[in-house]
Amino acid sequence: MEHSKSIKTQDNAEPIVEIENLLVEWDSKPVLNKFNLVMKPGEKIAIIGPSGCGKSTTLRVLAGLLLPTSGNLKLFGSTQSYLRLDQTNPPDVRLVFQNPALLGSLTVEENVGFLLRKNQSMSESKIKEIVISCLQEVGLYNVSNKLPSQLSGGMQKRVSFARALVKGSSLQSSSMPLLLFDEPTSGLDPIACTRIEDLIIKTTNVAKGCSIVVSHVMSTIERSAERVLMLYGGKIQWDGTIKEFKESDNSFIKQFRTGSLQGPIQPEII
């Protein structure tokens, strides 16, 4: 297995993510099995793998939306045993969904400021100021009072990025949040893809975060990640730098890059 070494990665620092022997089952069938991962502060990771291999499941576990069947998960050094909603001092992990998942009855401003209003005793004017600056960071102006349904799909995506820039005070204070992007560019035209990739890079930099992007889109993988993980058969089959990914002769990586039907990745026989 090849191992990534990013220049900006803080090799000796405490890992942001430590996953040991994780098992996640759906209907008694393992989706993740003996899954291990260490992510250092500053890393930008892409998780790739065929449809149904468990990429979104991995993000859901990291986001605290799903508890594993067994195994150990540590985020920012704290063992995770509860769903995020049940945690009094949750870790700073921010998920940008494939679909923006905005609350339809709330305005853009209320959607982006949701965590601030829920968790903090902050003045309304301060909340509005933070929300407007986050919206401006992602190129949205004069949309605060609109409902999500009044925006285009692309604008709704931008709102979900602005939401990832807001930090709730109930989140464990960490100087480096973990941002999770689930198939952010799937189904977009190449130009819209470039815009969203720019946003992934910008959002991660503005939040001073590290990131995990799940994607099948080659430009998104190449632009947003420095380390690539290939997930298949419930575990990480390959782990390397983006440069190694582009050149590797590994059978999983070669098959993924070329889209060949020949190779170790085959349809599941039920």
Ligand X SMILES: Nc1ncnc2c1ncn2[C@@H]1O[C@H](COP(=O)(O)OP(=O)(O)OP(=O)(O)O)[C@@H](O)[C@H]1O
* Distance in Å, CB of 186 to ligand X, minimum: 8
- Backbone region of residue 15 per phi and psi (left: phi > 0; alpha: psi in -120 to 50; beta: other values): beta
Burial class (CB in 10 A: 0-12, 13-18, 19+), 66: middle
CA distances from 6 to 19, 217, 225, 227 (A): 20, 22, 10, 8
One symbol per residue from 226 to 245: x for binding ligand X (CB under 6 A), - otherwise; what is it? --------------------
Q: Which residues pair with residue 48 across a beta bridge?
A: 230
d(C-alpha 261, C-alpha 232), whole Å: 15
Q: Do the bridges between strand 17-26 and strand 178-182 make them parallel or antiparallel, or are there none, so unpaired?
A: unpaired
Kindly tell me which of 60 and 128 has the beta carbon lying closer to ligand X: 60
Residue 83 lies near ligand X (rule: CB under 6 A)? no
One symbol per residue from 19 to 38: x for binding ligand X (CB under 6 A), - otherwise; what is it? -------xx---x-------
Decide: helix, strand or coil at residue 139: coil
Residue 57 lies near ligand X (rule: CB under 6 A)? yes
Kindly tell me which of 112 and 214 has the beta carbon lying closer to ligand X: 214
Kindly tell me the number of DSSP H helices and DSSP E strands found in the chain: 9, 10
Residue 248 lies near ligand X (rule: CB under 6 A)? no
Which residue of 4, 56, 203, 250 would you call a contact of ligand X, by CB under 6 A?
56
Q: How many residues bind ligand X (CB under 6 A)?
A: 11
d(C-alpha 172, C-alpha 156), whole Å: 27
Which residue of 20, 52, 78, 103 would you call a contact of ligand X, by CB under 6 A?
52
Kindly tell me which of 42 and 184 has the beta carbon lying closer to ligand X: 184
Interface segment toward ligand X; rule CB under 6 A; list 53-61, 80-88, 125-133, 145-153? 53-61
Residue 6 lies near ligand X (rule: CB under 6 A)? no
Residue 54 lies near ligand X (rule: CB under 6 A)? yes
* CA trace torsion 101, 102, 103, 107 (10° rounding): -170
* Distance in Å, CB of 71 to ligand X, minimum: 16
